[in-house]
Chain A
């Protein structure tokens, strides 16, 4: 009934890993490279990550998620890879026949090699069994992010966030910027689980309370969330009696971990670990020959840049596999330099590169500690005297009865205290259209203007 379509390298997933894999496969000599993406857009989760902080390693500059996705997508296209959207892969056989569903029907590809780049999903309330009721108003951070940043939907007005992973902290800041009250971020461990730079720039910048060694023991509210009960936990993570208190809120956002998404991979018999990550050798090859894995579906990673790098290795190896060439080993050590948890006291967390140096500055004799490069000094001095931030937000576009949000960012950083003002000013406007590179000027309270530019990906939406 369905014809087999042959291709050299088939990549499943058009997120940062898959797009980089496709490009690398082409560059290493694969003739036909096809990327299958179930969503109607490429870029994966990056498309909803409108904040900046991407691209430092790969492009040497700080990009927003949509900008990074745009680059990765167009690099893949330019390399000659074919990126097919709206393709839902249902099944892979051990001999690399891939069956997919789309509006056009059911198709089967027969690939010389496969790269699994299926990303991850979020751990849910169900999976961690939080006691209490089951009202409306409980969202994972990624769903909240999609609804707010892409669909302009207000998920709540008073939010408690469980878990201090990076997405949780980034969402805390986003909520605050959009005028939503963030009651607290709750973390069961003794320190935040995300990057120090996010603790600093998402929580500290906005005075968002962070309760560590604390957990939610009950969700309260029959129809909509009304409150959560919290309690301190002991060293075995068990709630300590007598420490309970109630936080009133209408929404609970969960940032309680990511699970590699490998259910499609499992259909071809790929071995996975207990945490659902894929078992691979040093060359990112899975237990099924010719099937490679990269990015968050292989193992949860901290930065999109690392996902791209790993995708590159996996895609390159997929090409080499079919050409009978020796494979490249992936260097696991490259991804472990990020500073996590609380920033050190009396220091600033440098965001110029992902190292996240904790830099101290002695004003009296103008000496610095903790910086691994000279740029850190400049950053620390600026941060301690006149802190600035790039503003990232969205602008409403109303075009022939369809409303969309377009991600924008400031061309230059603005004083830290002006960020909320800029976001709120932009929330009041609605444009008919915004083209790539169009600029919007927002007056600053301190005088001057913030120049906002649309991310280079609007037309791909």
Chain B
């Protein structure tokens, strides 16, 4: 017997999770199908972790409108869901007169989009705001912010889950058909029926769309590579610093961003690639990133590098065209009940909640959505031992001695936090799921200290055999069993 839903959402990135949460306010039966073993494994977990203000996008576009809306509501959402967020502002750094002129144009565009507080700053003010940054002047965007994108997606999903949405991980949709008035969505050996299907499959949304016969979208994967710097360099930068964007590059240029946890990230590059899951770093781009980053922030040194990662943008603009094409968010007329979200690249993370609002509004046109009286609006924030003061820490240890056991020494993550991450509501257990929740293994030793301890917990306290421990789901097995 197949399950019948009102809404099926394909993809558990930020947008899919935000849509799930928006729908969870209403008396609806909602499911999210995700091919990976956790949320945020795609583009949502591989980016600069910036809440954009909305000045980069063409006036009148969905990108501009939803980004500005997203920025305005972000702080509230973050507070309700217990997601680390900090309104740092952002600077665009000019190196010559041409850059300064371009900034004038960007401010005009930003104001037309509804961004507040954008202004040019001279060299003196630039260096007051960011003493170690090079450049002759720039632009300040006071409403840009930084946040934790993993926790954001997890929080959206957990809140949706608390309100009754069911999440099916490891469910890769392979076909969608229509029988009577219901969609039949097949994922592996499971079949789901639903009145609506929301395609928020990110990098694969063109393919999912093609499953219902709409094949006029093509996505071009465009990879961005990043470096992560040691917290030792934290003091060098407290505000995201971007170069003035050059028209047509299809990204925002290589920038430096402090993360909510005190590391600086460098990137991303923008390079069209063949495969949608090729998250490889390349030596040429890595060198280029480094040189451009040193231009912006000359104080950084190679020894500060502790890691690298890549994200892939689902671009609608083909390589020859470059730049941005606007988000597609619409119900397909030829397939009523099928809502496409195509080309949700930057600023999709910022705009996830307003995008979700748009999707709900589309459904509202056909349905009388009835609010649940018992809707849970808030999510308890995760305990982050490292961010507490010494009295709070002492109290926690007295309540639960496992808060006194530091398992990840680089990020000061306690055993209690690791346990909470392992025991997440979705029952998704991998090294990455622990990493994204507790932030263990993300520091300068790359897990040299804590990986063996986390492994030991999984085996001896949770009874997971070594060959079932994965890095991030099936196929990424960490171990091959016992030695003897």
Contacts and interface: CB of A to CB of B under 8 A. Distances in A.
Contacts of B479: 147, 153-155
Interface in A1-47: 1-2, 38
Given A103-B401, A126-B306, A152-B482, A131 B282 contact: yes
Interface in B296-324: 301, 303, 305-309
B299 to A, nearest CB: 13
Contact of B280 (A121, A133, A157): A133
A80 interface: no
Contact of A155 (B303, B404, B446, B480): B480
A396 B280 contact: no
Contacts of A178: 483-484
B341 to A, nearest CB: 25
A122 B445 contact: yes
A106 B394 contact: yes
Taking each of B308, B391, B398, B431, which has the highest tally of chain A beta carbons within 10 Å of its own beta carbon?
Answer: B308
A164 B391 CA distance: 47
Taking each of A217, A224, A405, which has the highest tally of chain B beta carbons within 10 Å of its own beta carbon?
Answer: A224
The 7 A-B pairs with the shortest beta carbon distances in the complex, nearest first, are: A126-B307, A136-B471, A223-B475, A103-B401, A124-B446, A223-B476, A88-B406
Interface residues of A, number: 59
A264 to B, nearest CB: 9
29 contacts: A2-B390, A86-B405, A88-B405, A90-B412, A99-B390, A101-B405, A103-B405, A104-B397, A104-B404, A105-B398, A121-B448, A122-B445, A124-B444, A129-B286, A134-B309, A143-B452, A151-B459, A153-B455, A153-B479, A154-B480, A155-B479, A178-B483, A178-B484, A223-B472, A223-B473, A224-B476, A402-B460, A427-B483, A428-B484
B281 interface: yes
A156 B305 CA distance: 27
Contacts of A99: 390
A124 B478 contact: no
Interface in A105-126: 105-106, 121-122, 124-126
B269 to A, nearest CB: 13
A132 interface: yes
A74 interface: no
A427 B283 contact: no
B121 to A, nearest CB: 33
Nearest to A274: B303
B476 A136 contact: yes
B280 A131 contact: yes
Contact of B397 (A101, A122, A131, A396): A101
B459 to A, nearest CB: 8
Contact of B480 (A105, A156, A276, A405): A156
B64 to A, nearest CB: 34
B286 A153 contact: no
Contact of A224 (B279, B282, B451, B477): B477
A231 to B, nearest CB: 11
B357 interface: no
Interface string B209-237: 00000000000000000011000100000
B119 interface: no
Contacts of B391: 1
Contacts of B405: 86, 88, 101-103
Interface in A124-153: 124-127, 129, 131-137, 140, 142-143, 146-148, 150-153
B470 interface: yes
A75 interface: no
Interface string B427-469: 0000100000000000011111101100110011000001000
B58 interface: no
Interface of B: 227-228, 232, 277-283, 286, 301, 303, 305-309, 390-391, 393-394, 397-398, 401-402, 404-406, 409-410, 412, 431, 444-449, 451-452, 455-456, 459-460, 466, 470-484
Contact of A153 (B232, B283, B482): B482
Contacts of B393: 101, 106
Contacts of A402: 460
Taking each of A122, A126, A135, A224, which has the highest tally of chain B beta carbons within 10 Å of its own beta carbon?
Answer: A126
Contacts of B473: 223
B480 A126 contact: no
Given A143-B447, A153-B483, 16 more contacts: A1-B390, A86-B405, A101-B404, A101-B405, A124-B306, A124-B445, A129-B281, A131-B286, A133-B279, A133-B280, A136-B471, A136-B472, A147-B479, A151-B455, A155-B478, A178-B483
- Give the dominant DSSP class at B's interface: mixed
Contacts, number: 161
B397 A148 contact: no
B390 A106 contact: yes
A218 interface: yes
Contacts of A147: 452, 455, 479
Nearest to B398: A105
B484 A222 contact: no
Contacts of B482: 152-154
Contact of A103 (B309, B402, B472): B402
A126 B228 contact: yes
Contacts of A156: 480
A101 B406 contact: yes
A146 B456 CA distance: 11
A174 to B, nearest CB: 10
B394 A1 contact: yes
A140 B280 CA distance: 20
A286 interface: no
A122 B445 CA distance: 7
Given A1-B391, A131-B286, A121 B449 contact: yes
B387 to A, nearest CB: 14
B484 A396 contact: yes
A263 B232 CA distance: 9
Contacts of A126: 228, 305-308, 446
A446 B232 CA distance: 58
Contacts of A155: 478-480
Nearest to B452: A146
B233 to A, nearest CB: 13
Taking each of A103, A153, A223, which has the highest tally of chain B beta carbons within 10 Å of its own beta carbon?
Answer: A153
B456 A157 contact: no
Contacts of B409: 38, 88
Nearest to B432: A136
A135 B478 CA distance: 9
A39 to B, nearest CB: 9
A459 B476 CA distance: 36
A155 B308 CA distance: 23
A122 B308 CA distance: 17
